[in-house]
Structure 1
Amino acid sequence: MTRTGLSPLAWLDDVAVERRAAGLRRSLKARTPVGADLDLASNDYLGLSQHPRVLDGGIAALRTWGAGSTGSRLVTGNTELHEDFENALAEFVGAESALVFSSGYTANLGAVVALSGPGSLVVSDALTHASLVDACRLSRARVVVTPHSDVASVADALANRSEQRAVVVTDSVFSADGDLAPLRELHDVCRRHGALMIVDEAHGLGVRGTGGRGLLHEVGLAGAPDVVMTVTLSKALGSQGGAVLGPAAVRDHLIDAARPFIFDTGLAPAAVGSARAALQVLVDEPRRAQRVLDRAAELAAVCGVDEVPSSAVVSVILGAPEVALAAATDCLEHGVRVGCFRPPTVPAGTSRLRLTARASLSDEDMALARGVLTDVLFPS
């Protein structure tokens, strides 16, 4: 059979048809600069992306350092601003050092790959973020995926390994359900078996722990010598970028070995300046972290979710992807934007609305949310 004249991308049409039939076709929707809708979908947990001090921090960095960092941080992309922010962030969460990457995704890739590698074992929770999944795949280590939050399975994988080095990776707060990882129990297992623990605090920073210092800080593991923490700057800090925090030796090793750090252009100064200002707002206003949890509890009650949320995330499982998408569309038509999670982001049969609380939600915002969500989820 000849393939002459057949487009090498013809198969994409068939895939698109299959996705559409399954209710899994995705599309981009642009939002306006100042949205008229109430946003319960973003990860701007502390409401800092539009905070005047955060905007001023970004503008000042832009005017001082320029629009871009101009190169890899090993060449021209490292500024005093980057290092000042790293020091401040490490001090805030209780780590010895920090290293800023261009995104939370690349921070996870850099940390996991550089700290594992061929001849080592990586044990990963089944519901870790896609960036950690990709990092495991790129690590060239032997990877064992354990059931969600199953500490006994992690212990078995570590106890039965033949490799000298082992790394356990997990989110601290899982993004789809908002539940918390059993970090203390996992760390006990890691220490017993001589394994490193890497914890993604993307959804923990700014929400959990004293004044938003993260779940590791909350459970007493901040600064532990066998724990590495990764964060994103694009959620609670309202900016862009990521960071890896841990022992100074880890920072030194990542500068030498983490390809997403070595070969990527450094994070733009404006993003660093904004994140630095946002961190200072959190230091000055620690109550913001608790307010996120308070608002999340209110949203859960409105949606009929029995369990009090442990994070900013409120997950309302509706089942079929078409049902979840229709509910999200209905909410938006009535002025409330919510997230809609469908497979492969979540397992089949668990498509859902994913609501996120913000510290900046007003009583008027909550009244609107209450009215719309009640009408959509519990029609009379």
Structure 2
Amino acid sequence: MSNAPQQREFFLDSIRAWLMLLGIPFHISLIYSSHTWHVNSALPSWWLTLFNDFIHAFRMQVFFVISGYFSYMLFLRYPLKRWWKVRVERVGIPMLTAIPLLTLPQFLMLQYVNGKAANWHTLTTYEKYNTLVWELISHLWFLLVMVVLTTVCLFLFKKMNRYVTRHKENSHASLSLGRLSILFLACGILYGAIRRTIFIIHAPLLSDGLFNFVVMQTLFYLPFFLLGALAFTRPKLKALFTTPSPWCAAGAALAFAAYLLNQRYGNGDAWMYETESVITMLMGLWMVNVVFSLGHKLLNFHSPRVTYFVNASLFIYLVHHPLVLFFGAFITPHIASNTLGFIAGLIFVVGIAVVLYEIHLRIPLLRFLFSGKPQNAAKATKSAG
């Protein structure tokens, strides 16, 4: 392991933050889309539906590539056990904090808004458990997946590090987006085959919240997480993603068109979800090139304003979801225009989230709970900077 400092990746920091903050317009647009959600406007908006679908089709794939990149960077910096502890604390503590402080009150509010509280006693014990898993983990699912991926990569990163060490002479081996596309196509087909097999053997398992988050989501995002780690070890691979590719842009556009067609004409009992896994696996890969190349060109600089939102992005993401649902339940019905409602929702949610972020910065216990970082270490880092 090495303690040598790495050069700051400003554009990756910025992309990761903006992808997380993109969850705000994603969830607000979900209110005004044609997709059924906890709260919906009276009439759906076609352009907000399209906007929502576009974000959903690629955002988290790119996010997990960046997470894998930084996770492997820290893996090389810390001893193995300390690496696992640091990574799990930084995602696990905020997740466990958000459940009682955010998603539980959110769940209780939705029970009142949707009128389901009166039916709670009619549910079986398993139905109550499964409902709580879905609702309490809610938008925190990616933090749970990060904990699982970190644990799995205790083994995978060790194997990768040994391979990289033994084959340093091949560090500039030929890599191409075409070969990666074939590999991710195979990953999408394999994931679809696993899902279809489970559907045939025991379909209700796919509706189990904990199984969905821990197993299915982890399986889907594992290739992206490992791709990010590999990009850290292979400068040529990283350069491949930061160099604009017209083929990737065209491929992503075609994949998005296929995604929309599958959403429109697919059937959930047929191969809709398996087809979606192949499409989004490939679109995710190609959008890594699109997002990285644009980010490297436009965001690769230090800015206090950008740094502020990089530091605030996790907290804002955590608190935005109940704010969006509150807006959708109590304010959306009073705004006739979907576009005006969407803009008002952004102002409402972002404004309150930033105020809450500033308040939490002044309370050491909350700073620790929502960041997973010991405050003495944070102060030492700030002083060193």
TM-score over 0.5 for the pair: no
Relative CO higher for 1 or 2, CA cutoff 8 Å, sep ≥ 6? 2
Q: Higher helix share goes to which structure?
A: 2
Q: TM-score, normalised by structure 2?
A: 0.24
Q: TM-score, normalised by structure 1?
A: 0.24
Q: Higher strand share goes to which structure?
A: 1
